Amino acid sequence: MKNILVLCTGNSCRSQIAEGYLRHFAGEKAEIYSAGIETHGVNPRAISIMKEDGIDISKHTSNNIDEYLDIDFDFVITVCDNAKEHCPIFPTKAKKFHHNFPDPAKAKGTEEEVLEEFRQVRQMIKDYSQQFVSDNLF
């Protein structure tokens, strides 16, 4: 079984969404973790838009990268440029991947416009996660 870490700035939106989809697509082939270089709590809108797609992330917690320093990761995926630039050095063989997804938490407008931005980012992360699993776990 592979260990995968998804790393973001605050572990509230993008990394939480990616954790949900990677768990869904990887099944028993990987243990998925997500963390931030800070912790901001799981964004309620991220929980809501994932529920729309049948993925429950309501029990996820916002974790700091320091909590996982003793895990030997096979893959580390950074989902924002800030996390990539500030990612701590892991004493690991982990293969690193990076994709800078827009931060839906910074969306402005009406509630529906903000939710639509969340949905767009969700779809980007869903597509990326499905491709990642297909390319690296099968």
Cα 7 from Cα 49, distance rounded (Å): 20
> Of 56, 10, 24, whose CA–CA distance to 132 is shortest?
24
Of 77, 80, 105, 121, the active-site residue reads 80
Domain edges within the chain: 2-136
- 130 has pLDDT over 80: yes
Angle at 57 (CA atoms; ends 52, 63), nearest 5 degrees: 145
Task: Dump pLDDT digits (tens) for 76-93.
Answer: 999 987 766 766 565 568
Of 4, 6, 7, 8, the active-site residue reads 8
> Of 26, 11, 18, whose CA–CA distance to 99 is shortest?
18
Of 2, 24, 64, 87, the active-site residue reads 87
The yes-or-no answer on residue 13 being catalytic is no
Contact 8, 83 (CB under 8 A): yes
CATH number of 2-136: 3.40.50.2300
Cα 5 from Cα 18, distance rounded (Å): 10
Residue 51 pLDDT class (50, 70, 90 cuts): very high
Residue 16 pLDDT class (50, 70, 90 cuts): very high
